[in-house]
Amino acid sequence: MSLPTATHPAMADAIRVLAMDAVQQANSGHPGAPMGMADIAEALWPRNLRHNPADPAWANRDRFVLSNGHGSMLIYALLHLSGYDLPIDELKQFRQLHSKTPGHPEVGITPGVETTTGPLGQGLANAVGMALAESLLAAEFNKPGHAIVDHHTYAFVGDGCLMEGISHEACSLAGTLKLSKLVVLYDDNGISIDGEVEHWFGDDTATRFEGYGWNVIRGVDGHDSDAVDAAIKAARAQAAKPTLIVCRTIIGKGSPAMAGTHAVHGAPLGIDEIAATRAALGWSHEPFLIPQDIYDAWDAREAGGQAQAQWQAAFDAYAAQYPAEAAEFQRRMRGELPAGFADQLQAYVQATADKGETVATRKASQFAITALAGLLPELLGGSADLTGSNYTDWKGVAPVRANPAGGVGFGRHINYGVREFGMAAVMNGIALHGGYLPFGGTFLTFSDYSRNAIRMAALMKQRVVHVFTHDSIGLGEDGPTHQSIEHAASLRLIPNLSVWRPCDTVETAVAWGAAVSRPASLGMAVHDGGPTALLLSRQNLPFVPRDAATLAAVARGGYVLRDADGARAVILATGSEVALALAAQEALAKEGIAVRVVSMPSTDVFDRQDADWKRAVLPPGLPRVAVEAGVTAFWHKYVGLEGAVVGIDRYGESAPAGALFKFFGLTADKVAEAVKQVL
């Protein structure tokens, strides 16, 4: 690109001063990474990134992820300078309440921010998910001569991202799947918070990535933007492998006293050093004043508008020839479910109720997946190497596999390998990219491995579904390492995460329906969506017949499953313990004690019901007993301090499931006893 009058170094210096001045003004933040990566950014954004500041939601834009999210002033400066709707006043409000420039980049708050980053390493895994979504969509929708899906995904990473274990999980998968349109630029500055990383991070990172099957471009001078530009172009010129560009940089470059030291990582430079930096850079302008020639050189609006218009023309040609595919692509990228889906879902739930099968809820989940996969072409499954246990596949589904020449062939089931955290963060990237509704499975106990990515999905309100099977001591012989105790309760503490622990095929069908029907959140259009965790049994659970009203009530998250005239107490239960509650109800009835059984497959969905519903299900004044094969503390929210909870407050044991339920007192007798105690 030919530049007006501003030089490349001056363009990069604009980032440096914006970063150091905004951090100074906020009296908090991280100037080191933006100052150190300014030249790399100047090589990528104006010279290589295809994006349109006027339409941050353009489907075929290149994706950009700042995985080292602490360097947030870098992306804010880039968005501002490139012409996004991020005025200079927002940069002056860096890190202030309700500004568009929060401490770490957050999707949905700042136009042009593709994902929320800050937990190091996860942005990189999100980028892998975005690149995977791009490659899959291209395989699904592109036609000869019509490459309507054809963009790159770029990520900036620091030492921290590459020290994090998730970088191994995600990048190993990216290499195996030959995600060649993924280009990662490594800020190899030798510094992290504690100082010089050589003392705790001595890896040969380049060789490590070559081992993953990446194309590695070593030894690039990260302050020579022409060299970085050439490396990016070399990466784009090959279609076989993802690329890591190792850019040797100086953290805080430009600051005479602090560059190259950890002092500049996460603290303001101070006014004296800022003055010295201005002098050293030859930058005479006041804080937040950028000369017009520099704005002109950065302005991406015209080029972006042209790039999008060109793509639109290509898309229109595609739509003329393939109208159904084009409409489907647009629907999918908007994250909307197909017309008529709600009715089809209802019919599926009804059919499930009519069949009345007794199976494990993991199996019921596979039934639901099979039905939904036929209705929702966007459904994209997978498992962290437990497909045959999680039942996340369906008959005839093709696995996603790398093409020998690069990229992936089309499939709808991803073998994520034994990488729970990577899977969860890759799924977030897939959802953020748009076009697919990802779900993935593992054992519930290993949700801890995925946990921060589940939290990030919840924070970002992303529609992803976690299939967590083997949800309690009911898995039996594998023992306490595999038996979930605290997991259901702790997942329920994550805001925006919807958690379901269904008791039979019907509740499982409703749970799946609720999960896929949460609104999608793409780009700035973040509404009340979010992820879902389905907690499913390994063991068979008896089908519970319901009348029409009871069937309709399942979607409320908590409902009266089996009432009794003159009920004197309520038993609440979830999942495998609903059968115990029903058995206790019967036993108590024989003794003349009438109790109501409430099934509570989703406490968060129940909590969102109106007060009348909640009072009708759990009448104030009726004593309550909760039963769940896990920690008891959570349930006092519903039973109060006067109520009783039958649960397990220690780790499990290795034994057949039947013996374990008995040993831990998860029996109908014990539940009945607890009811008598609260009467």
**116 contacts 459 by C-beta, under 8 angstroms:** yes
Q: How far is the CB of 166 from ligand TPP (least distance, A)?
A: 9
**Interface region with Mg ion, contact rule CB under 5 A, candidates 80-88, 191-199, 370-378, 461-469:** 191-199
Q: What angle do CA 210, 167, 141 make, to 5 degrees?
A: 80
How many residues sit in the footprint of ligand TPP (CB under 6 A)?
Answer: 18
**Interface region with ligand TPP, contact rule CB under 6 A, candidates 73-81, 154-162, 220-228, 335-343:** 154-162
Interaction between residue 501 and ligand TPP (CB under 6 A): no
How many residues comprise the chain? 679
> Looking at the DSSP assignment, which residues form a beta bridge with residue 191?
196
Q: How far is the CB of 74 from ligand TPP (least distance, A)?
A: 10
Q: Which does 118 bind (CB under 5 to 8 A by kind): Mg ion, ligand TPP, none?
A: ligand TPP
Q: How far is the CB of 249 from Mg ion (least distance, A)?
A: 8
Which residue, 128 or 191, is less far from ligand TPP as judged by CB? Answer: 191
Mark out the alpha helices in 282-414 (DSSP H runs).
292-298, 301-321, 323-334, 341-355, 361-375, 387-390
CA separation for the pair 212, 209 (Å, rounded): 5
State which of positions 163-192 bind ligand TPP (CB under 6 A): 187, 189, 191-192
Give the closest residue to 352 by CA, choosing from 561, 537, 507, 506.
506
Q: How far is the CB of 231 from ligand TPP (least distance, A)?
A: 19
Q: How far is the CB of 177 from ligand TPP (least distance, A)?
A: 24
Q: Which of 31, 83, 158, 407 is the binder for Mg ion (CB under 5 A)?
A: 158
State which of positions 26-85 bind ligand TPP (CB under 6 A): 32-33, 68, 70
Which residue, 265 or 461, is less far from ligand TPP as judged by CB? Answer: 265
Exactly one of 90, 169, 273, 420 is catalytic; name it. 420
Interaction between residue 265 and ligand TPP (CB under 6 A): yes
Interaction between residue 159 and ligand TPP (CB under 6 A): yes
Interaction between residue 95 and ligand TPP (CB under 6 A): no
Sign of CA pseudo-dihedral 326, 332, 336, 342: positive
Site string for ligand TPP, 658-677 (x = CB under 6 A): --------------------
Which residue, 245 or 369, is less far from Mg ion as judged by CB? Answer: 245
**Interface region with Mg ion, contact rule CB under 5 A, candidates 90-98, 150-158, 420-428, 444-452:** 150-158
Interaction between residue 119 and ligand TPP (CB under 6 A): yes
Interaction between residue 191 and Mg ion (CB under 5 A): yes
Spatial strand order in the sheet of 413-415: 413-415, 379-383, 437-443, 465-469, 532-535, 498-500
Q: Which residue is nearest to ligand TPP (CB)?
A: 158
Which residue, 41 or 444, is less far from Mg ion as judged by CB? Answer: 41
**Interface region with ligand TPP, contact rule CB under 6 A, candidates 117-125, 216-224, 238-246, 625-633:** 117-125
Which residue, 125 or 465, is less far from ligand TPP as judged by CB? Answer: 125
Q: What is the three-class DSSP state of 275?
A: helix
420-433 helix and 447-460 helix, angle to the nearest 10 degrees: 20
Q: Between the CA of residue 86 and those of 20, 21, 608, 668, what are the distances in Å? A: 18, 17, 35, 61
**Interface region with Mg ion, contact rule CB under 5 A, candidates 182-190, 293-301, 343-351, 545-553:** 182-190
Q: How far is the CB of 182 from Mg ion (least distance, A)?
A: 21
Q: How far is the CB of 222 from Mg ion (least distance, A)?
A: 11
**Interface region with Mg ion, contact rule CB under 5 A, candidates 188-196, 346-354, 356-364, 520-528:** 188-196
**Bridge-based pairing state of the strands 595-599 and 559-562:** antiparallel
Q: What is the three-class DSSP state of 281?
A: helix
Q: How far is the CB of 200 from Mg ion (least distance, A)?
A: 12
Distance of CA 256 to the CA centre of its chain: 40
Q: Which of 6, 41, 73, 120 is the binder for ligand TPP (CB under 6 A)?
A: 120
The residue type found at 334 is R
Q: Which does 95 bind (CB under 5 to 8 A by kind): Mg ion, ligand TPP, none?
A: none
Give the closest residue to 436 by CA, choosing from 368, 523, 375, 376.
376
**222 contacts 232 by C-beta, under 8 angstroms:** no
Q: Which of 193, 289, 342, 418 is the binder for ligand TPP (CB under 6 A)?
A: 193
DSSP state string for 646-673 = E---S---SS-HHHHHHHTT-SHHHHHH
| Catalytic residue check, 642 | no
DSSP state string for 31-83 = -HHHHHHHHHHHHHHHHH----TT-TT-TTPPEEEESSGGGHHHHHHHHHHHT
Q: Which of 244, 247, 251, 536 is the binder for ligand TPP (CB under 6 A)?
A: 251
Sign of CA pseudo-dihedral 129, 131, 137, 140: negative
Q: Which does 193 bind (CB under 5 to 8 A by kind): Mg ion, ligand TPP, none?
A: ligand TPP
Rg (CA), the chain: 27
Which residue, 184 or 427, is less far from Mg ion as judged by CB? Answer: 184
Q: Which does 70 bind (CB under 5 to 8 A by kind): ligand TPP, Mg ion, none?
A: ligand TPP
Q: Which residue is nearest to Mg ion (CB)?
A: 159
Q: What is the three-class DSSP state of 153?
A: strand
447-460 helix and 122-141 helix, angle to the nearest 10 degrees: 80
Which residue, 165 or 480, is less far from ligand TPP as judged by CB? Answer: 165
The residue type found at 587 is A
Q: How far is the CB of 22 from Mg ion (least distance, A)?
A: 20
Give the closest residue to 445 by CA, choosing from 138, 220, 652.
652
Q: Which tokens in the block code for residue 606?
A: 């129940």
Query: DSSP state, 114?
Result: -
The residue ranges of DSSP E strands in 178-259, in sequence order, are 182-188, 191-192, 195-196, 215-221, 243-248
State which of positions 533-572 bind ligand TPP (CB under 6 A): none
Interaction between residue 189 and Mg ion (CB under 5 A): yes
Q: Which does 120 bind (CB under 5 to 8 A by kind): Mg ion, ligand TPP, none?
A: ligand TPP
Which residues carry out catalysis? 420
Residues within the interface to Mg ion (CB under 5 A): 158-159, 189, 191-192
Residues within the interface to ligand TPP (CB under 6 A): 32-33, 68, 70, 118-120, 158-161, 187, 189, 191-193, 251, 265
